[in-house]
Amino acid sequence: MSEVFLDTETTGLSFHEGHKIVEIACIETKDLVPTNKVFHKILNPKRDVPKQAFDIHGFSTDFLKDKETFDNVADEFIKFIEGKKIIIHNANFDLGFLNGELSNINKSKIDKLNVIDSLEVARNKFPGTSNSLDALCRRFNIDLSRRTKHNALLDCELLREVYINLLEAREPKFNLTSTSQNQINSVEQVKFYNKKILEISEDEKKKHKEFLKSEIKKNFY
């Protein structure tokens, strides 16, 4: 099956507050192996980029003013993701912007049933810990040296590595049977080595032989 790893960068936290997408990246994979097909667009949001957002991704208002707008790339984007499973980290954030932009130009929204949220997968595997993309990369020893700023294309590449590790991650399991057996063996060894060996008298040996003879007669005759 084909998948798409998707990420966006924006001017802010909420589409409904007037913020817009400034970068979209998608990497196509087949059974999680890259096909070398990539969709990557830097967009003019038709608004100013707040300093807080600039500090995160580094795209300034001046840099973006001559770039394409979302409506110019929407059809190409839709075609690229069509029929594929979409994997997004913190999907509600990206879908909020993408579906908002698609609705504005009378295009169908992305169906959440076609989306896997890797953040939810991570939270189920590692509850109570940080599951940001950075934190997961550190957990799985994935190189973050190139991630000096948020970059949608790089983040897709990192997300693919994280997702593969999430699928392969196994919680430590305790083999109680093996552990118990080892404990039993250890106890038996201790018992053996701590046994006190006693010498028996000749009289006791004689009585023991007589006992055995009587028992044999009872059982076999």
Between CA 117 and CA 108 the distance in angstroms is 20
Please tell me which residue in 19, 40, 150, 208 is annotated as part of the active site. 150
Q: Identify whether 150 is a catalytic site residue.
A: yes
Tokens coding 2: 């084909």
User: What letter represents residue 109's amino acid?
Assistant: K
Give the catalytic positions in this structure. Answer: 150
